[in-house]
Amino acid sequence: MHISNTIVIFVIMKGVGPHNTLKGYRKAEVIYDMTYYFCGKYLRCGDRTIDQMVQAARSGKQNIVEGMAVGGTSKEMMLKLLYVAKGSLQELLADYEDYLRVRNLRLWESDSAEVGAMRKLGLEHDDGNYFLSLAQTRNDEVVANMVIVLIHQADVLIRRYYNYHYNKFLKEGGYREKLTRERLANRKE
C-alpha cells in the first residue's frame, strides 16, 4: 500500500471527549462560566474569595474530565475523582450561600417559584452563553441563587453517574480484575 493512495482523515472537534457527553459535566461547565462572571462582577479585586470560588468551580469541572480520562484503566480513580468534583461543587455551594447570608440577601426556598423556574431552565439548557445572557440582566442575589440551583442539579447528576459506575465496579471489578481474569484464563489454555 502506498501512502499516496491512502487517504487519512483526522477530525478534530473542539470540546469533544467522553466527558462532554455527560450532563453533569456540561452543568459543571456552566457553573464555572457563571462563577467566573459572578466573581468578576460582584466581588472586589483582591478578594481572596474570588480565587477560592473560581478554583472550586474549575475543580468541579476538571475532576470530571480527569475521572473520565482515567476511567478506562482505573475505575477506582475515576470514582475518587468524581467525588472530588462533587466535593468541590459543595465547597462552591457554601461560598454562594455565605455570600447571600453575610449580605443579608435572600436564599431561595427549595419550594419557591424561582427555584421551580430555574430547575426547569437547568433541565432545558446546558449552554453557558444562555445562562450568562440571563445573568447579565439580573442582580447578584438572583445570579447567586441561579448558580445554587445549578450546583444542586450537577450534584444529583454526578451522584447518579458515581452510583452507576460504583455498582458496575462492584459487579465487574476494574482493569486489574479484568487483567487477572484474562491472565488466569490464559494459564488454563
**In-domain check, residue 184:** no
- The count of structural domains within the chain is 1
Digit-coded pLDDT (tens) for 51-83:
999 999 999 999 999 998 888 778 889 999 999
Q: Note the pLDDT of residue 13.
A: 37
Q: Note the pLDDT of residue 19.
A: 67
pTM: 0.83
CA 36 to CA 135: how far, in whole Å? 12
**In-domain check, residue 69:** yes
Percent of the chain with pLDDT over 70: 88
Whether residue 145 contacts residue 97, with contact meaning beta carbons closer than 8 Å, is answered with no
**In-domain check, residue 187:** no
C-alpha angle 106/107/113, rounded to 5°? 100
CA 69 to CA 82: how far, in whole Å? 12
**In-domain check, residue 39:** yes
**In-domain check, residue 186:** no
The residue range of the domain holding 12 is 3-172
What sign for the dihedral angle of Cα 39, 19, 26, 91? negative
**In-domain check, residue 183:** no
Instruction: Identify the band that residue 25 occupies on the pLDDT scale cut at 50, 70 and 90.
Output: very high
CATH number at residue 32: 1.20.1440.60
**In-domain check, residue 66:** yes
**In-domain check, residue 182:** no
